[in-house]
Amino acid sequence: MLMEDTIAAISTPIGVGGIGIVRMSGSKSVEIIKNMFRTKDGKALECFKNRYFYYGKIVDSEGKTADEVLVVVMRAPNSYTKEDIAEIHCHGGIVPLRQILRIAIQQGARLAQPGEFTKRAFLNGRIDLAQAEGVMDLICAKTESAAEASIQHMEGILSSRIRNMRKSLIDIMARIEVAIDYPEEDIEEMETEKYIENLTFLINDLNRLLSTADTGKLIRQGIKVVIVGKPNVGKSSLLNALLRENRAIVTDIPGTTRDVIEESLDIDGVLVRILDTAGIRKAADIIEDIGINRSRQSIKEADLVLWVMDASGLIDDEDLEIAEEIKDKNKIIVLNKIDKQMAVDLKSIKEYIKDTPVIKTSAILGQGIPDVEKSIHDMVMGGKVWTNDEVFITNIRHQEALIRAGEHIRDALSALKNNIPLDLVSIDVREACDALGTITGETVTEDLLDKIFSEFCLGK
């Protein structure tokens, strides 16, 4: 479905750069670019070869030059939107970009809404909805892992799996309709076991896909790593060492950190949200008490805990209290301050730290920091925080759709096993099919489309 109007937007980030791009899509894109573009000697071009770059300048209605540019035309249907697209590559300052966009709008284009180029690609059948969302995920990806998951969605790996599930459900619906329409053929009795077998296979496949949602969430939002320990063991120094900057205040005074400090870093393609917390001990005042309570809440929400201990000190009751609090968490022990005389003995807490990596560091000198990073990476990619799979559910909307589909499939299975009439079974099978269709966009409302694409950036 080709849109009647032509849209235009700046497709590169606002700011100063070498190149900026103004993009147009729609049936009048080529006509508009003809009116705006002049060759270096001031002549207008009547014909633009497909996918050829032309050097010249953009002029307004009075012939005033806005910028020297390169122009390329990509004709339908072989373009991102399956419509005629024209791109103007100009200097990457905000002034020339806005001037060129203004001229395009004066010539008959309208300002594109957020995500409208990708929405047109979806409506024109070039990509499905899951692929479209993969585009935005790739733009927003903060690590290689997140980018790889987004590319899988863009390439249609998730869509293919969802379509296979829907195809199986549609086949079951068709067989049920035949059984309902021709009861005299005694098809219902012969097929019931087959329905149960197929639906059981489907629910298992769906559950396998759903099981990747936690992994997908970690890929997209990052691993939540919480630094815990007694006051003055070097938690803030460790945070600064990992970030390679002085983010947290470091002093010899216990209780300096009063609140949770959160930063992000990339460890070999893994997005890590790292939190420095207040030292856990008996609070000296109400403000420190609030900070300690926040530390405990952060521990509960952590995917991984870095338990920092003073290598030059002895295990005491505060250490035992922390050990009890984090005993069920994925954790790494960091023995800090190894530049001092070693005194710590971990035997008294051995029941709490079975199979737990122990890393020796001097955060203030930068010793052992690469080992901490490697240990975090190994725990994540080694499966203690997530496991590898061919495709991940990274989108909460997709997860909710799969949950709804699973509920309807289970209801259909229950109905079949309890000899409920097939016309009622058919309703649940159809609802499951529709729920899966919202992932790829085969069964989706206009309101949902507007909501999804409104979250895209302008110009994409």
Return the structure tokens found at 209: 């896909």
Alpha carbons 195 and 172: distance in angstroms, whole number: 7
Q: What pTM was estimated for this model as a whole?
A: 0.72
Alpha carbons 177 and 172: distance in angstroms, whole number: 9
| Domains and their CATH numbers in the chain | 7-112 (3.30.1360.120), 132-212+393-454 (1.20.120.430), 219-381 (3.40.50.300)
pLDDT tens per residue, range 335-354: 999 999 888 888 888 888 88
Give the per-residue pLDDT at 281.
52
pLDDT tens per residue, range 303-323: 888 989 888 888 888 888 888
**Residues paired with residue 261 on neighbouring β-strands, in sequence order:** 276
Give the per-residue pLDDT at 251.
43
Alpha helices in 50-128 (DSSP H): 94-106, 116-123
Residue 384 has pLDDT above 70, yes or no: no
Backbone angles phi, psi at 273, to 5 degrees: -95, 105
pLDDT tens per residue, range 176-210: 887 777 665 555 555 788 889 999 999 999 999 99
Q: Determine if residue 340 is left, alpha or beta; phi over 0 gives left, psi from -120 to 50 gives alpha, anything else beta.
A: beta
Span 241-269, average pLDDT: 64
pLDDT tens per residue, range 20-37: 999 999 999 999 999 999
Alpha carbons 115 and 458: distance in angstroms, whole number: 6
